[in-house]
Amino acid sequence: MTIALATAAGVHHKDQKRFNLAGDFTWRKITDKMPSDELMVSHGGYDNSDVNKDINCMFPIDRIHELAKEGFIKACAPVHAGFMGGGGNQEKFKHETGPAIAKMFVEEGVDAVILTAG
């Protein structure tokens, strides 16, 4: 089974645009080749200091890689998704953002997605 991560925690590459703290409904593609220390959180709904010390506490990418290496899962997906949960335009998220993320996962051959909260 090929597993992807999706997170409402506001995770993204350090070189990607930060989330707008006023109800951002956009999302960021997180490439699997990006080292975990090159990921960060920019979510306005909670204190980001701990998660920015260890991204795996909210976005367990290194743990998924370990499961793949051990053969417990087939593979870690080549892409993951980060968005900022906790408000914003829910209709826009439901009809635009969510379907765009789902489309990416289908196109990349993802079998299952683990969703983490923010």
pLDDT tens by residue, 48-71 = 778 888 899 999 999 999 999 999
Residues spanned by the domain of 58:
2-116
pLDDT beyond 90 at 1: yes
Cα(97)–Cα(91) distance, integer angstroms: 9
Looking at residue 73, its pLDDT comes to 97
Q: What is the pTM of this model?
A: 0.91
With a cut of 80, say whether residue 17 has pLDDT above it. Answer: yes
Q: Is the model's pLDDT at 3 over the cut of 80? A: yes
pLDDT of res. 85: 83
Cα–Cα dist 19/82, whole Å: 10
In angstroms, the CA 108 to CA 31 distance is 11
Q: Looking at residue 97, what is its pLDDT?
A: 93
Number of domains in the chain: 1
**pLDDT digit string, tens, across residues 22-43:** 778 899 999 999 999 999 988 8
DSSP state letters, the chain:
-EEEEEESB-EEETTSPPPPTTT---EEEEETTS-GGGEEE--TTS--HHHHH-GGGTS-HHHHHHHHHHTSSSEE-SEEEEEB-SSS-HHHIIIIIHHHHHHHHHHTT--EEEEE--
For residue 84, pLDDT beyond 90: no
